[in-house]
Structure 1
Amino acid sequence: MLRGTAGTNIFGNDSLSVSVDGKISIMNIGLQGRGDTPEAIRNSLTGHGEVSGYLYPAVAKGSLSFASFATGVGSLFSSEMGFSSAVLQGFVNHQSKIAGELQLGGGMLTLRDHSVQGQNAIALITSRTSFTAATTDTTIALDTGTRGPADFVMTVKGPISSPTMTTGRGPGR
Structure 2
Amino acid sequence: MKEFVQPAQVLLDLDCMTKDEVLALLSDKALELGITNDRDAVKAAFDAREDEGSTGMMDGFAVPHAKTDAIKDAAVIVTRFTAPIADWESIDGSEITVGIALLVPDAEAGSTHITLLAKIARALMDDAFRDAIRAATEPGQVSGLINGRLSD
After TM superposition, the score normalised by the length of structure 1 is 0.30
More strand by share: 1
Higher fraction of helix: 2
Higher relative contact order (CA 8 A, sep 6+): 2
Larger Rg: 1
